[in-house]
Amino acid sequence: MDFLNLSLNDDEWGDLMFGESAPLALPPDLLQTNWCGSSGKSLAAQTVAFYQLIKHSYEQHAGLPIKNVKLLDFGCGWGRIIRLFLKDIVPEQIYGCDVDRDILQWCQSIPGNFTVSEPRPKTLPFSTTFDLIYAFSVFTHLGKETHMDCLRALHAGLRVGGILIVTVRPREFISSRGIELRNLPDHEIDNLLGRFDDGQYVHIPYVMEPVRGEIPYGDTAIPEQYILNHWQLFFDVIDFSPFLADPMQISVILRKKQ
């Protein structure tokens, strides 16, 4: 089915792609919730909001139309965001990768290019250069060294001046005891908040095997000051602002340096 240039606004498009008669296969609601924290209309609304943020941010800061980009969803999961871009971009220019081979099975029905990525990548798993890359709720889970590996790989995979959009956790994620933090005692929460306020990288690893000396995943909160101090080795920080559709995500918009 050719989705390009459908006469639907973004909300109508989201209703179609996440509705009961969705033209592309959707995972069961339980899998959607386990992977994304919600399902159905609430997840569709959040997804459309981030899709719009990506489009508007790229066109504003790159000064180019979204239809011409080569696009990568880094950590695409079951393809909930990337499928919306079928209305704007030809499938040959759409790419997605994820470390979870099983979840990628749900991308088989999505026109585009999808493959498995490494937990601590030295390069992206595609031999091409991208104009625009986004990562929704990926840097919210990365270990400190793993996140630097990802930044280097993303920097290498973007053209000069290309745009990278990611989300990170706000301070409130710690204070509200999000996800794994709910089991931590008060003094450990206070310690994490102090580290965050000092501009330090905050990461609570999952129970899993390390990769090259680090457990790559857990729950992570990265303060703005840390981003300004470390990420600007690779990128100019264009914007750092709340993502209103999800109060536990902060959007960070970056432009690749030389």
CB 47 within 8 A of CB 73: no
Would you state the pLDDT for residue 179?
76
Residue 234: what pLDDT? 96
pLDDT score recorded for residue 178: 79
Q: Which residues pair with 220 in a beta bridge?
A: 203
Classify 10-256 by CATH class. alpha beta
Q: What separation in angstroms does the CA of 124 have from each of 63, 99, 128?
A: 25, 11, 9
Q: Alpha carbon of 178 to those of 35, 148, 184, 191: distances in Å?
A: 15, 24, 10, 15
What are the residue ranges spanned by the domains of the chain? 10-256
Q: How far is CA 78 from CA 27, 82, 107, 188, 225, in A?
A: 8, 9, 6, 34, 32
pLDDT score recorded for residue 176: 93
The whole-number pLDDT of residue 246 equals: 93
What is the pLDDT, as a whole number, of residue 180? 78
Q: Which residues of the chain, if any, have pLDDT below 70?
A: 1
What is the C-alpha to C-alpha distance for residues 241 and 224, in angstroms, rounded to an integer?
10
Tally of residues, the chain: 258
What is the per-residue pLDDT for 34? 92
Would you tell me the crossing angle of helices 29-36 and 40-62 to the nearest 10 degrees?
A: 50
